[in-house]
């Protein structure tokens, strides 16, 4: 029996040796990717495009946008996951011929996922299309542009702003109502001031700052007064004399826009009721939320120091406010991205990171805590569906691993927490209205993205697509490996590491580190990445991304360490990662390049100055170089005021460390960047010149915060040219890259 055990124990070893040899032969026989396959979708393709899920028509039918065989164009299909039946739901392009010339027919404003009532824009005017009839009605005839047309929930009216005043039109009659009269160059009704667009309401808002009530009877809007906000000049160099664009932009310590909260009642006179807030208070207002019955609006208020959040219930009839929820933290608080309301047993659910991790809490309408729904050293991402009838909440979270996203459910009393998705994948979830099923796009670092419908118990119902083609396994790809790097004080930093194709541990390779680095802004995700990184792997570059302790992987506890300390822990942890990489023995320490844009550009500049002992090359795009030069809301949230934190501002400035600079830094900026002003790069350029330092500087005339078109192609080529010249020391294949249209290599 003993001999048998030893014999059986030997067989797998022998088999493994044989299998290993076979795998080696197979790997050698695999084909090598071509430049065209990586950058130009050359044949054979390794990855196929997946359909786009645009939502759910009802509990049984998921809406999928795709082009089936025989289709001349993409169409929206309704797929019944119960029966497998698939029918054309909407062919929006069929109405293109009936629309006036110049009407944008690609992205209409719709009242719901049924696509039945659509608003189009053309020549600064609005058109209404009812898809049931195909009839087009012109709504406006004004020389000024109607911005952010938004249909009421009942589909009967469309609200918009024109010349910074708020309007609405009845679709049936064409009757136009104007609700405000004082809009102008510095006063905006229903249209956001720049700092609110960028930092609070978000770029997806497209400056819209008005919200319909669920019953379509009221519109809540913000009125911004930028009269006291300093103006920042941006120079447009086109033409003989150029042009000066001036934008009210509050930098650190500057006056912020004054804000009033107004509510318009319809279909009454349209008179504005102002909420009971003092517009002259130094304060911020976050996105508001109407209660389901439309009788109250929850308005988020925050002090200038951003350590206290109060949610007020505002009566739309008289503007009176009542405190419903209050939260204070020693570092900073975040506005609620959304609030989920309960109607059966009235109350609301919100997400807070007040205990160091983002979790869900349930309250009654007076703000009394009913139940804590989730807890633990992991973070909730977002609520996907709230089913009050079953008393269950479906949400996504990073519980199994901080680099992956899964779907979970929990009962409204905080019991019964359960994971629904399975495997080691990152999931992007679109759930049915009642939560009986969901669609997920899922992948990991070694598995290309797949699309499928699952039940709320995690059972596979229907495959919708697999981006991996039959040719995929015929080719040799460098593996994107997920690893953890332990710092000297015990943080296991998540990182992704791609070694060169045909890696030889006896060789020395150049390194490219791609980062972003902002607070609660992770870069590393256990998900599939596109093929562009394969090119540098084939050329012999080690590629790594790593997240620091404040990136979100360690919750608000980790991020709070960055309070008043921007630059400190990012550099500490990135340097720790390079120390680990050096210890592996295959790194050419004279060629360690770091690259990033915006906050990633800031970190890159810090790496080539403060961290110059470890980083030798860098490309820093549209970078903050001194936090005193960035906007008030973002900077003061993390750094407090300069008067409160002079040491933090001094350390966090790249200029403070410029004398340590060595190696080679390329500074890249657009001349009309209205987010991170070119002033940042110019001040760093001036400092380096005064110190007699060698560096490179690339300008993009009239470029904003990033760029498209020919300048994007130029930027892409110049980035690769930098890598070839300084990391690979090879001739750059300029002709190959001339017509590349894929993204930058980071």
Assess if residue 172 is contained within a domain: yes
For the chain, what is the mean pLDDT? 91
Q: Tell me, yes or no, whether 106 and 10 share the same domain.
A: no
Whether pLDDT at 647 is above 90:
yes
Q: Determine the Cα–Cα distance for residues 345 and 388; give it in Å rounded to an integer.
A: 9
Q: Determine the Cα–Cα distance for residues 715 and 341; give it in Å rounded to an integer.
A: 46
Asked if residues 346 and 366 have their Cβ atoms less than 8 Å apart, the reply is: no
Q: Is the preceding peptide bond at 384 cis, omega within 30 degrees of 0?
A: no
Q: Tell me, yes or no, whether 8 and 108 share the same domain.
A: no
Per-residue pLDDT, averaged over 521-532, amounts to: 95
Q: Tell me, yes or no, whether 10 and 115 share the same domain.
A: no
Boundary (domain end) residue, out of 178, 193, 208: 178
Share of the chain above pLDDT 90, in %: 81
Distance from the Cα of residue 59 to its chain's centroid: 28
Contact partners, residue 164, CB within 8 Å, separation at least 6? 183, 184, 187, 188, 189, 190, 191
Per-residue pLDDT, averaged over 253-270, amounts to: 91
Whether pLDDT at 738 is above 90:
no
Asked if residues 622 and 679 have their Cβ atoms less than 8 Å apart, the reply is: no
Q: Tell me, yes or no, whether 498 and 636 share the same domain.
A: yes
Residue keyed to tokens 């519980």: 399
Structure token digits, residue 416: 């019964």
Q: Determine the Cα–Cα distance for residues 625 and 665; give it in Å rounded to an integer.
A: 13
Q: Tell me, yes or no, whether 26 and 95 share the same domain.
A: no
Q: What per-residue confidence (pLDDT) applies to 18?
A: 41
Residue of 679, 621, 631 whose CA lies nearest to 655: 679
Contact partners, residue 598, CB within 8 Å, separation at least 6? 516, 518, 621, 622, 623, 624, 675, 676, 705
Contact partners, residue 37, CB within 8 Å, separation at least 6? 43, 44, 45, 46, 475, 531
Per-residue pLDDT, averaged over 496-525, amounts to: 96
Residue of 25 and 517 predicted with greater confidence? 517
**243-247-253-255 Cα dihedral, nearest 10 degrees:** 130
| pLDDT-based confidence at residue 119 (cuts at 50, 70, 90) | confident
Q: What per-residue confidence (pLDDT) applies to 130?
A: 76
Whether pLDDT at 25 is above 80:
no
Whether pLDDT at 32 is above 80:
yes
What is the pTM assigned to this prediction?
Answer: 0.91
Whether pLDDT at 140 is above 70:
yes
Q: Determine the Cα–Cα distance for residues 586 and 505; give it in Å rounded to an integer.
A: 6
Assess if residue 548 is contained within a domain: yes
Instruction: Return the H-helix or E-strand segment holding 538.
Output: helix 532-539
Asked if residues 406 and 400 have their Cβ atoms less than 8 Å apart, the reply is: yes
Q: Tell me, yes or no, whether 124 and 6 share the same domain.
A: no
Residue of 48, 38, 41 whose CA lies nearest to 478: 38
Which range, of 7-21, 188-202, 379-393, 652-666, averages the lowest pLDDT? 7-21
Assess if residue 280 is contained within a domain: no
Per-residue pLDDT, averaged over 106-116, amounts to: 50
- Beta-strand relationship, 272-274 and 258-265: antiparallel
Q: Determine the Cα–Cα distance for residues 272 and 259; give it in Å rounded to an integer.
A: 15
Q: Determine the Cα–Cα distance for residues 354 and 344; give it in Å rounded to an integer.
A: 28
Whether pLDDT at 741 is above 80:
no
Q: Determine the Cα–Cα distance for residues 78 and 86; give it in Å rounded to an integer.
A: 6
Contact partners, residue 18, CB within 8 Å, separation at least 6? none
- Beta-strand relationship, 258-265 and 218-225: antiparallel
Q: Tell me, yes or no, whether 26 and 104 share the same domain.
A: no
Q: Determine the Cα–Cα distance for residues 113 and 57; give it in Å rounded to an integer.
A: 7
Assess if residue 9 is contained within a domain: yes
Contact partners, residue 418, CB within 8 Å, separation at least 6? 408, 409, 410
Assess if residue 691 is contained within a domain: no
Asked if residues 158 and 169 have their Cβ atoms less than 8 Å apart, the reply is: yes
Boundary (domain end) residue, out of 121, 153, 178: 178
For 208, list phi and psi in degrees, rounded to 5: -70, 130
Q: What per-residue confidence (pLDDT) applies to 134?
A: 72
Q: How far is CA 526 from CA 261, 425, 480, 671, in A?
A: 42, 7, 9, 36
Assess if residue 429 is contained within a domain: no
CATH number, domain with residue 637: 3.40.50.1820
640 CB-side CA count, 13 A: 14
Q: Tell me, yes or no, whether 6 and 117 share the same domain.
A: no
Encode pLDDT of 79-92 as tens digits.
998 888 989 887 65
DSSP class per residue in 562-583 = GTT-TTHHHHHHHHHHHHHHHH
Asked if residues 590 and 613 have their Cβ atoms less than 8 Å apart, the reply is: no
Q: Determine the Cα–Cα distance for residues 666 and 685; give it in Å rounded to an integer.
A: 10
Residue keyed to tokens 């657009």: 670
Cα dihedral across residues 202, 205, 209, 215: positive or negative: negative
3-class DSSP assignment, residue 503: coil
Q: Determine the Cα–Cα distance for residues 356 and 336; give it in Å rounded to an integer.
A: 16
Q: Tell me, yes or no, whether 532 and 660 share the same domain.
A: yes
Encode pLDDT of 450-502 as tens digits.
999 999 999 999 999 999 999 999 999 999 999 999 999 999 999 999 999 99
Range of the domain at 148: 91-178
Assess if residue 514 is contained within a domain: yes
Per-residue pLDDT, averaged over 224-245, amounts to: 93
Residue of 148, 194, 193, 185 whose CA lies nearest to 167: 148
Asked if residues 548 and 570 have their Cβ atoms less than 8 Å apart, the reply is: yes
Please give the radius of gyration of the chain, using alpha carbons only, rounded to the nearest integer.
Answer: 28
Asked if residues 290 and 213 have their Cβ atoms less than 8 Å apart, the reply is: yes
Q: Determine the Cα–Cα distance for residues 477 and 47; give it in Å rounded to an integer.
A: 13
Which range, of 97-111, 125-139, 208-222, 537-551, averages the lowest pLDDT? 97-111
Asked if residues 358 and 380 have their Cβ atoms less than 8 Å apart, the reply is: yes
Boundary (domain end) residue, out of 144, 159, 178: 178
3-class DSSP assignment, residue 680: helix
Encode pLDDT of 320-379 as tens digits.
999 999 999 999 999 999 999 999 999 999 999 999 999 999 999 999 999 999 999 999
Asked if residues 420 and 439 have their Cβ atoms less than 8 Å apart, the reply is: no
Per-residue pLDDT, averaged over 508-517, amounts to: 97
Q: What per-residue confidence (pLDDT) applies to 120?
A: 83
Q: What per-residue confidence (pLDDT) applies to 44?
A: 93
Q: 431: phi > 0 → left, psi -120 to 50 → alpha, else beta; which?
A: beta
Asked if residues 500 and 538 have their Cβ atoms less than 8 Å apart, the reply is: yes
Q: Determine the Cα–Cα distance for residues 262 and 273; give it in Å rounded to an integer.
A: 6
Encode pLDDT of 540-560 as tens digits.
999 999 999 999 999 999 999
Q: Determine the Cα–Cα distance for residues 89 and 643; give it in Å rounded to an integer.
A: 59
Encode pLDDT of 263-304 as tens digits.
999 876 678 999 999 999 999 999 999 999 999 999 999 999
Q: Tell me, yes or no, whether 576 and 490 share the same domain.
A: yes
Encode pLDDT of 566-624 as tens digits.
999 999 999 999 999 999 999 999 999 999 999 999 999 999 999 999 999 999 999 99
Assess if residue 640 is contained within a domain: yes
Q: Determine the Cα–Cα distance for residues 531 and 475; give it in Å rounded to an integer.
A: 12
Whether pLDDT at 429 is above 80:
yes
Q: Tell me, yes or no, whether 652 and 519 share the same domain.
A: yes
Asked if residues 458 and 476 have their Cβ atoms less than 8 Å apart, the reply is: no
Q: Tell me, yes or no, whether 480 and 559 share the same domain.
A: yes
Number of helices (H), then strands (E), belonging to the chain: the values are 12, 44
DSSP class per residue in 662-725 = -SEEEEEEETT-SSS-THHHHHHHHHHHHTT---EEEEETT-BSB--HHHHHHHHHHHHHHIII
Please tell me the total count of domains within the chain.
Answer: 3
């Amino acid at each position: 029996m003993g001999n048998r055990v030893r014999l059986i124990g030997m067989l797998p070893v022998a088999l493994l040796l044989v299998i290993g040899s076979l795998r080696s032969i197979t790997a050698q026989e695999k084909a090598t990717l071509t430049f065209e396959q990586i950058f130009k979708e050359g044949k054979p393709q390794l990855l196929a495009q997946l359909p786009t899920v645009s939502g759910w028509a009802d509990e049984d039918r998921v809406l999928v946008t795709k082009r089936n065989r025989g289709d001349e164009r993409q169409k929206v299909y309704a797929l019944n996951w119960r029966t497998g039946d698939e029918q054309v739901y909407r062919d929006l392009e069929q109405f293109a011929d009936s629309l006036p010339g110049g009407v944008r027919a690609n992205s209409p404003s719709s009242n719901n996922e049924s696509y039945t009532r659509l608003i189009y824009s053309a020549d600064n005017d609005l058109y209404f299309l009812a898809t049931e009839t195909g009839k087009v009605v012109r709504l406006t005839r004004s020389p000024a542009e109607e911005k952010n047309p938004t249909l009421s929930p009942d589909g009967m009216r469309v609200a918009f702003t024109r010349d910074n005043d708020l309007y609405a039109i009845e679709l049936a009659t064409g009757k136009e109502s104007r609700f405000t009269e004082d809009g102008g160059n510095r006063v905006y009704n229903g249209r956001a001031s720049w700092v609110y667009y960028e930092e609070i309401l978000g770029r997806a808002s497209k400056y819209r700052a008005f919200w319909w009530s669920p019953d379509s009877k009221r519109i809540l809007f913000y009125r911004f007064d930028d009269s006291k906000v300093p103006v920042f000049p941006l120079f447009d160099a086109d033409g003989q004399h150029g042009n000066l664009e001036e934008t009210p932009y509050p930098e650190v310590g500057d006056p912020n826009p004054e804000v009033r909260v107004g509510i318009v009642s319809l279909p009454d006179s349209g008179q504005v009721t102002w909420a009971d807030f003092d517009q002259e208070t130094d304060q911020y207002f976050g996105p508001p939320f109407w209660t389901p019955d439309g009788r109250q609006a929850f308005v988020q208020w925050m002090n200038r120091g951003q350590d206290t959040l109060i949610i007020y219930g505002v009566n739309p009839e008289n503007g009176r406010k009542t405190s419903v929820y209050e939260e204070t933290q020693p570092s900073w608080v975040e506005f609620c991205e959304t609030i989920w309301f309960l109607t059966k047993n009235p109350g609301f659910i919100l997400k807070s990171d007040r205990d160091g991790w983002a979790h869900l809490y349930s309250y009654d309408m007076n703000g009394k805590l009913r139940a804590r729904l989730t807890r633990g050293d992991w973070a909730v991402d977002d609520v996907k569906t709230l089913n009050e009838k079953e008393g269950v909440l479906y949400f996504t979270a990073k519980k199994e691993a901080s680099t992956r996203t899964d779907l979970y459910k929990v009962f409204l009393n905080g019991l019964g927490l359960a994971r629904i998705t399975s495997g080691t994948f990152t999931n992007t979830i679109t759930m049915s209205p009642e939560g009986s099923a969901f669609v997920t796009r899922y992948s990991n670092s070694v598995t290309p993205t797949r699309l499928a419908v699952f039940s709320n118990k995690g059972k596979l119902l229907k495959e919708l697509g697999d981006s991996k083609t039959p040719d995929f396994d015929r080719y040799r790809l460098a593996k994107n490996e997920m690893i953890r790097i332990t710092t000297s004080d015990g943080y296991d930093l998540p990182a992704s590491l791609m070694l060169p194709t045909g890696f030889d541990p006896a060789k020395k390779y150049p390194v490219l580190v791609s980062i972003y680095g902002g607070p609660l802004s992770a870069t590393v995700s256990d998900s599939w990445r596109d093929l562009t990184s394969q090119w540098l792997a084939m050329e012999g570059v080690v590629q790594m991304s790593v997240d620091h302790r404040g990136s979100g992987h360690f919750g608000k506890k980790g991020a709070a360490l960055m309070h008043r300390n921007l630059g400190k822990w990012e550099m500490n942890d990135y340097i720790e990662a390079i120390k680990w990489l050096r210890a592996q023995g295959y790194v050419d320490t004279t060629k360690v390049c770091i690259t990033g844009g915006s906050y990633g550009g800031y970190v890159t500049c810090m790496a080539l100055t403060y961290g110059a002992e470890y980083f030798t090359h860098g490309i820093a795009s549209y970078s903050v170089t001194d936090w005193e030069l960035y906007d008030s809301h973002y900077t003061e949230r993390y750094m407090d005021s300069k008067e409160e934190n002079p040491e933090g501002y001094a350390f966090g400035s790249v200029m403070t460390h410029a004398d340590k600079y060595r190696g080679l830094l390329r500074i890249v900026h657009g001349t009309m960047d209205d987010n991170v002003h070119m002033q940042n790069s110019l001040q760093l350029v001036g400092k380096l010149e005064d110190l007699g330092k060698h560096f490179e500087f690339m300008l993009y005339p009239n470029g904003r915060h990033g760029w498209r078109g020919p300048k994007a192609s130029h930027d892409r080529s110049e980035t690769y040219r930098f890598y070839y010249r300084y990391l690979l020391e090879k001739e750059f294949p300029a002709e190959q890259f001339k017509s590349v249209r894929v993204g930058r290599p980071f």
